[in-house]
Amino acid sequence: MAAAALLSFTGRAAGILRPPLAELPLTSELLAVLRKHHLRQFRSRAVLATVWDWVASGGGRPERVLERVRLAGTSLSPHVLCFGPALNRRFLSCFRRAHAVVPYRIEEGRVYVYDPNHPGDRERFVKFWQDGKSVEFAYGEFRSREGWGITLVPVRVCTR
């Protein structure tokens, strides 16, 4: 859903006039398009990009997210932020509840995101802070201290 929303946004940003996904009536045609975009995240390119960033970040560690993230509206290939399991004992329980959001603004250690589960909420953000030698993050139920990791996936890997 996050990739579908981002692709819809980039179309609007390129001058293709469409209403936001949250304002469209839920028709069988819309569901078919959303299913198509959702299934693209399981293609080999998307899976490899996700696994690559997860491994490169040490199991979803958030240390360099703020400096690397590409925002919607500011990049040709913005990122989707994926919350998934960190490399620890809660790996499997976190894996089944993974989630993705679209970052669009950074302010004072906060990455503001569009969350497909909360389409009208413009105040949702991922909070990052330094805790001793490591960086921590929290977004709703997704907290690095509770076994969650975070990865950056370029939306372009979900379009082909």
Q: What pLDDT score was predicted for residue 156?
A: 78
Segment 108-122, tens digit of pLDDT: 999 999 888 887 788
The CA distance from 52 to 95, in Å, is 16
Cβ–Cβ contacts within 10 Å for residue 116, how many? 18
Confidence of residue 157 (pLDDT cuts 50, 70, 90): confident
Where along the chain do its domains lie?
Answer: 2-158
Q: What is the mean pLDDT of residues 93-97?
A: 69
For residue 107, what pLDDT is reported? 92
> Which percentage of the chain shows pLDDT scores above 70?
66
Return the number of other C-beta atoms located less than 10 Å from residue 52's C-beta: 13
Which pLDDT does position 12 carry in this prediction? Answer: 46
**Token representation of residue 4:** 């579908």
Give the rounded percent of residues in the chain with a pLDDT score beyond 90: 18
The structure's pTM equals 0.75
Q: How many CB atoms lie within 10 A of CB 105?
A: 14
For 28-38, what is the mean pLDDT? 65
Distance CA 88, CA 90 (A): 6
- Residue 33 or residue 115, greater confidence: 115
Q: What's the pLDDT score for residue 130? A: 92
Res. 124: pLDDT tops 90? yes
Q: Which of 7-21, 123-137, 140-154 has the highest mean pLDDT?
A: 123-137
State the chain's mean pLDDT as an integer. Answer: 77
Under the banding of pLDDT at 50, 70 and 90, the label for residue 62 is very high
